[in-house]
Every structure is written in C-alpha cells, then in structure tokens.
A and B are shown apart, each in its own frame.
Chain A
Amino acid sequence: MRSRDLGFRLSIGAFAAALLLIVTAIGFELARQSWLSIQRFGFDFWRTSTWDPVAGEFGALPFIWGTLYSSILALAIATPVALGIAVFVSELCPPVLRSPLIFLTELLAAIPSIVYGLWGIFVLVPFVRLLETWTPESLRALPLFSGPPLGVGMLAAGLVLAVMVVPFTSSVAREVLKTVPETQREAAYALGATRFEAIRAAMFYARTGIIGAIMLGFGRALGETMAVTMVIGNNPQVSLSLFAPQYTMSAVIANEFTEATDALYLSALVEIGLVLFIITLLVNGLSRGLIWTMARQVSSKVAA
C-alpha cells in the first residue's frame, strides 16, 4: 500500500512540479532577455525617470510609480465597496436577492478588459473631466488636484481598475465569510450585540481570508493592461496629482513592445516586465506572511 501511495504522490507531484517549472521558466526568461539592459543600467533602472528610445536612455521609475499609485488607489476605492458587497450578500440581504446579486457581481468580472477600456474612453473619461472642471479652486491648489482637467489621468485609471477589482475581492471575501462558524455570531448576539457588532466579530474571525481577498484584488490591479492604457494618458512622469496623465509598467510594455527594434530598447522593456514580476512576488510574499501570522493567532484562539 505504501509503495502505491508513493507512486500516486510522485505522479501527481510531477504535475505540480510542472506548474513550478513554468513560473520559474517565466522568471528566468524575463531575466535572460533583459540582461543587456540590466548590465547597462544596473540599479539605476529603478531610480531614474528618463525614458528616451532615441537616445537609448531608460529609467523605469515613472512606470513603477504609476503602477503602484494606480493599484493602491484602485484598492482604496474598491476594498470598502467589495467588502460592503460581501457583507451585504452573505449576512444582510434577503435570501431571494442573494443569487441574482452574486450573479451580477460575477458579471462584472466576466467583462473583457478591452470593453472596460472602450467604455473608459467614451463614458468614464468625459465624466472624470467634468468632475475635474467642477473641483473648486481652493482644492486645485493642492498637489493632489493640480493640473489641467484633461479627463485622462490617474483618477480615471484608478476608477476603472477599482471597478475591475471589486468582483474579485468581493467573491473571495464572500466565500470566506461563509466559512465563519455560526457560533461566533450567535455568541455575539447572545451578549447583546447589534448587527454591526456581530458582523464585525465575524469579520475579525475571518480577517486572514479577507486580507487574502484584498491581496488578490491588488494582484489583479497590478497586472491590468488594456483598460488602463486607454484612460491613463500615457505620460511617463512621477506626479502626485490625480489629474495628471501618468503611465504604468504593463501599459508601456503593451504600447511599445511591438515597435521596439533595437536590442537595448527591447531589453529595457523586458526588464520592466521583470520588475513587475519581482513586485508581484514581493506583494505575494507579503500577503502570505500576513495570512500566516494571522492564521497562527486564530488557531491558537480557537484551540483555547
């Protein structure tokens, strides 16, 4: 029996190894193709801001900034909405509404990103431009709101990304909340808690999974390409302003990869892909670490 189990373990382990192999191959391939650029610019690539294909000067800072800014902005907008939806659907809404609402949120996830991009240009950007023109002068003075009301820019990108992230985070959070044992809520109610307080207790119990859901949304936002490039303005600058057109890593690769012909240019673009890969690894590691520490705390609480 043992040897047959071993055979089983090895054969399915081979498939799991294939997965690991693919990811390592991607990382390796990215590093290999960007070697020219890595040798030439070294760590300066992460620090400098000039992106000049004609002069052969490449610095990725504006793209790193743009990706992180737009993703964090999207997360800030999407997380409360997504959690609100998850709580509403799993705890608060009448059972008859549950299935339709779940279906509708998943429909948001099913829309292809190019459709989001097109909707972005034709509907969202004019709307954002309107919002920008209505911003009172007093706020305009702040670096957060400075610049002409173009419509395209960080705010539009953050909004589009937020809409795309919401369904992922809310679906996972909803599933997680389902796994919280009823005893937790019942105990809270027994102590005289209001609905809010009971739900808050459930969310505290499930905080590990909820953080995981948020991180999943973050990952989605980091990698989104098509929708972002159509509404962000595609200007590689580091700017605090929500109104300023900026640029993300995925967008610049999508825009310039097919056109780049000289070796250094191409290598620099692939290196941006590598930088994004590394950042995804770091974000992932961070969320795993968070989940792991929280899981330990929860299990020790439950055991007690």
Chain B
Amino acid sequence: MQTSSLRHLVLAVATVALTACGGGTQQPAATQNASPTIQINGAGATFPYPIYSKWFSEYNTLHPNVRINYQSIGSGGGIRQLLNQTVFFGATDGPMTDEQLKSAPGPILHLPTVLGAVVPVYNVPGITDELKFTGPLLADMYLGRVKKWNDPAIAKLNPGVKLPGTDITIVHRSDGSGTTYIFMDFLSKVSPEFKTTVGVNTSVNWPVGVGGKGNEGVSGLVSQTPGSIGYVELIYALQTKIPFGAVQNPAGEFVKASVDSVTKAAAAAAANMPADFRVSITNAEGAGSYPISSFTWILLYENPTDKAAAKATLDFMHWALTDGEKYAADLGYAPLPDSVVKLEEAALQKIKVS
C-alpha cells in the first residue's frame, strides 16, 4: 500500500521522460514542399528586441508557416553565432569589423532596420530640471575627471540649476553590449583622450564606476543610487520614466533624444551611405539631430545554404522595410529614412535564393 504512490511517482517521471523522447519525433522537419513550417533562428542585439518581436509576430500572423525565432543574447553574441552558423541571421548595434568579416565562411550583408538612441540618465538629489551635457563633459565624467555634481564644467552648461555637491557615481554596463558600443563611439569621437584611454568596443576597461547588467540593470542602479549617471537606450528611459538629459550636437544645439531628432541624424548620413551600410551616425551634422544615434543592423549571408529560409527571410525583409517601419515610432524607434530604404531594397538583390 505504501509503495503504490512511490510506484506512481516513478511511473510519472518515466512517462515524462518517454514522452519527451517520443514527442520529438512526430514534429515534421522543414522541407522544400508546399507550405511547410519554416523555422528561422536569429540572435543578436537586445536593443531592437521589442520591435523585432513585434515584427516577427505580425509577420507570422500574415504568413503562419514562417516562424522566426529571435533571441536577444547581445550584439557580439549575434555576430559569433552567425559566424559559427548556429543561427541563420544575426543582429547588431555595432557593425562587424573588417577582421570579423574576413573570418566569416562567406560574405555577409549589413541591413539597417531601425534607428535608436542612447541617452544619459541621471539621479541627482533635489534636481527636477532637465540637465544639459556636452560630449566632452560626458567623456570627462566617465574618465573619472569630473567627480562632483557641482563641478564648474556642469554648472556652466546649466545656469540657474542648484547643483548639489554630491559625488558622481558612474554607472555603466557590466555585460558586453551594442548600447555600450554606440556610446563609446560617440565619446571617442568627441574626446581624443577617451579614445586612447578607453576606446570603442561592446565591452571596455572602465576607468571608474559600477556595472549594471543590461539596460534594466543600469536604469535600476541609477534610479536607486542618488548622485548617479548612466546610459541606456531611449526606449528604456521612456518606459521607466527616468530623467534623461540633452546632449550638444556639432551644430551647438542641445538636443533631447526623440524619434524626430534621431531620424534627422540618419538623414544626413543617407547622403553619404557606403555600399555596405556600415556607417556610424554618432555626432552627426545637421540641425536638430541627436548626436548619440545609431543604426541597428540585421546580418545575413549573401549565399546561405538553406534556400527556403533565404527566400522567407528576403520576403520578410521587404515587408519590414515597407510595412514594418510603420510600427517603429509607437515603440520608440525611429524609422529609416526613405533614401536608405531604397538603397537597401537594391542591396537585398544580392541574396541568392536559389
């Protein structure tokens, strides 16, 4: 009597294990025949995850046999998995280097999808005003040279604001990320010292500060630590309602990040777009442009072995560049300027689907 429930437990565990083995074999594999399910796996940047998940879900509703699985493991992760060919496409906030492209098993296309911005978020006790920053000031703060909130460098840009003498706590990303890459790219452009001391990468050797894991880690730390400053994607700042500042652009204006100011930054770049779309638009010229903006790219092999997936992905990209862009603004992303879309439609021809 006492052992019967034990037997039931053993049977239950065995059944789960056996169903796991048996259930797997019933799933049909993707074939080249009519309307089979095509599962496409992609990995990469966390920044565009919300809009990509919206896109893939909408596309799946329109084409139920195409299931695109995107996991946000980070820009570098996306690049690596693509190079290892464990995923079909990658996604990154920072373009691949020449070295990485050379080491790839085949030529890779960079395809811009949307635009995003990195904003400086802060938590200064007693201050509700919006603060103004310049690139060089942010660089000095992250180098550890500017240590207190009432430093003359900050006060000069924000006259009339009663800045306290609190110590500045720098918050950065502990995990490697495209967001870091964009911010480092900007700071390296505006501060030669920053460029030599720290440099540009998804992960750097931070001179000072604490690391938070992910955008949410940084915004969490900043909102909880009085006197701190950090950097996050615009969308995080908007969602968590954490105060963020305006940054000075090359035209001398102090611009706050918005869908509009980010698109303006891209419009200037469109005129001189390189053929492979690998361009940095931080510190872009042009009135009203936000200086810490960036494209985010999807990475695809020009000649993939899985042709069915290639065709499906190509169709998806065409949809994304036309209908997909309509979802961008609602979620806080800036859509691509038309000029860029045209260039990209042409570039997509390079992908061999047969």
Contacts and interface: CB of A to CB of B under 8 A. Distances in A.
Asked if chains A and B are in direct contact (CB within 8 A), the reply is yes
Interface stretch (B9-17, B108-116, B206-214, B270-278): B206-214
Interface in B194-252: 198-206, 209-213, 217, 220-221, 224-225
Contacts of B204: 52-54
Contact of B77 (A126, A251, A259): A259
Given A55-B199, A258-B176, A261-B100, A230 B213 contact: yes
20 contacts: A53-B176, A53-B201, A53-B202, A54-B199, A54-B200, A54-B201, A121-B220, A129-B224, A129-B225, A150-B210, A152-B210, A233-B210, A234-B210, A245-B210, A245-B211, A258-B73, A259-B176, A259-B177, A261-B76, A262-B99
Interface of A: 50-55, 57, 121, 125-126, 129, 148, 150-152, 229-230, 233-235, 245, 247, 251, 255-256, 258-262, 265-266
B21 to A, nearest CB: 19
Contacts of A262: 99-100
Contact of B225 (A151, A234, A260): A151
Contact of A151 (B79, B199, B224): B224
B212 A234 contact: yes
Contacts of B294: none
Contacts of B174: 229, 234, 251, 255
Contact of B176 (A125, A148, A255): A255
A150 B254 CA distance: 31
B213 A125 contact: no
Contacts of A52: 204-205
A126 B224 contact: yes
B203 A256 contact: yes
Nearest to B75: A259
Contacts of A258: 73-74, 76-77, 80, 175-176
Given A259-B75, A259-B77, 6 more contacts: A53-B201, A235-B209, A255-B213, A256-B203, A259-B76, A261-B100
B169 interface: yes
A258 to B, nearest CB: 3
Contacts of A251: 174
- Listed residue (A53, A121, A258) with the most chain B CB atoms within 10 angstroms of its CB: A258
B213 A229 contact: yes
B202 A259 contact: yes
Given A121-B220, A150-B225, A261 B80 contact: yes
A49 to B, nearest CB: 10
A151 B222 CA distance: 12
B167 interface: yes
A77 B206 CA distance: 31
A53 B203 contact: yes
A233 B169 CA distance: 12
A52 B204 CA distance: 6
Interface in B60-101: 73-77, 79-80, 83, 99-100
